């Protein structure tokens, strides 16, 4: 499909996003980042307080930028599943299960297959396990953190 210059490309039904989520850090992660940045003041205070405040501001900008840039996006369309930088066609997806509490802890720990694709965040407890059925892919499943695992599983089952 081509479009004339200045025209926005038309979204097809296959490209429509059925589910989308960003795995933003929790409040306490932002609080720790702010505390870490403020601690820089103490390190540079012997030189001068102005240098300490300046260094703290620079560290804060760097830390907060890294947190924002490293926040993965989960997107489900009619044809693909995208988690972070990885994308897989939905034709290669099998069963979908979600876990919370102790079951999620087991999936992230003792129940984990070393070949699985992981996009898990320590500040998000529930996980969704998506089986990969592609015979050419050694990855048995994707394990993905989600704040709304039931909605993600429903979107993948649709």
Give the pTM.
Answer: 0.79
How confident is the model at residue 42, as a pLDDT?
92
How confident is the model at residue 70, as a pLDDT?
93
**CB-facing half-sphere around the CA of 136: CA atoms within 13 A:** 2
- For the chain, what's the residue count? 158
User: From the CB of residue 55, how many other CB atoms can be counted at a distance below 10 Å?
Assistant: 17
How confident is the model at residue 7, as a pLDDT?
45
How confident is the model at residue 15, as a pLDDT?
78
**What residues of the chain score a pLDDT lower than 50?**
1-10
How confident is the model at residue 24, as a pLDDT?
96
Residue 26 backbone phi and psi in degrees, to 5: -70, 170
Whether the Cβ atoms of residue 131 and residue 93 lie closer than 8 Å to each other? yes
How confident is the model at residue 63, as a pLDDT?
96
């Amino acid at each position: 499909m081509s479009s004339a210059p200045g025209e926005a490309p038309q979204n097809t039904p296959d490209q429509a996003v059925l589910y989308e989520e960003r795995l933003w850090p929790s409040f306490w992660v932002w609080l720790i980042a702010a505390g870490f940045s403020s601690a820089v003041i103490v390190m540079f205070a012997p030189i001068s307080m102005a240098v300490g405040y300046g260094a703290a501001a620079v560290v804060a900008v760097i830390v907060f930028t890294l947190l924002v840039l490293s926040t993965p996006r989960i997107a489900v369309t009619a044809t693909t599943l995208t988690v972070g930088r990885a994308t897989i066609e939905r034709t290669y997806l099998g069963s979908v299960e979600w876990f919370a509490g102790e079951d999620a802890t087991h999936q992230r720990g003792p129940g984990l297959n070393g070949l699985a694709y992981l996009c898990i965040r320590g500040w998000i407890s529930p996980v969704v396990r998506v089986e990969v059925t592609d015979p050419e892919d050694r990855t048995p499943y994707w394990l993905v953190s989600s704040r709304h695992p039931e909605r993600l599983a429903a979107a993948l089952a649709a």
